[in-house]
Structure 1
Amino acid sequence: MAWPLELEDPAAFRAGARALGDAMPAHHRAFLEGLPFSVAFGDFFFCHAGIRPGVALDAQDHLDLIWIRGEFHRHQGLYPKVIVHGHTPVEQAEILPNRVNVDTGAYATGRLTALVIDGAKKRLLTIEG
């Protein structure tokens, strides 16, 4: 299979996704399928895309956790916890009062960013490959 996946052509993307799925060992797939949609540690809530404002963290719809964008990004108020997310690539990771976006588009840029939490301190760790 040619890399990277073709993102602009839906048929080519589906074919690439199938090939990736076929190449993945069954125990890797089982591990990924067994992961929760979100997890909370202390003052932080981790999910793929974000949360729906006004909905309790333990009542979030799993589709919002993996797909939401606009309403979540536009919300300026604080959430019950700091939301750590990706799903929306940005040039530089964002640390805002209510959320942290660590998606620096690694699939296209080769730049992978993580959030390091040490007590009340937050810093970003980025590696380029």
Structure 2
Amino acid sequence: MLRIPPYPASLETRKDIEKHINELLDMDVIRNIGHNEIVEITTCVLITWNDGKSRLYGDFRALNSYKKADSYPIPRLPHALDKLAKSKYIANMDCMKGFHQNGVKPNSMKLLRTICHMGKYE
């Protein structure tokens, strides 16, 4: 079972993490899970850019041990660009919190749980 404690964070970083967690909770993107629930869990990481904006990530590197190897090759960029060159339309979508809009199978949700000073979330 994978259980990683939260990384230490400064008071300022904790405030930013709280802001992001509360925003994701308000959007019903994540939910708080009980402390008694047996969980496989990893920690969240706050990345701050030079302009002062920040983004909350999960450190899911340990999940690589659970993952099966890809059975298909990664597309090559020149091949993808050749296909796009012949296209009549190209779509570009910018979604708020786009990563969180990807569907996850219910039995995989437990692998995407994170922990921070505020609690555990999935």
TM-score by length of structure 1 reads: 0.21
Structure ID, larger Rg: 2
The alignment's TM-score, normalised by the length of structure 2, stands at: 0.22
Structure with bigger RCO (C-alpha 8 Å, 6+ apart): 2
**Would you tell me which structure has more strand in proportion to its own residues?**
1
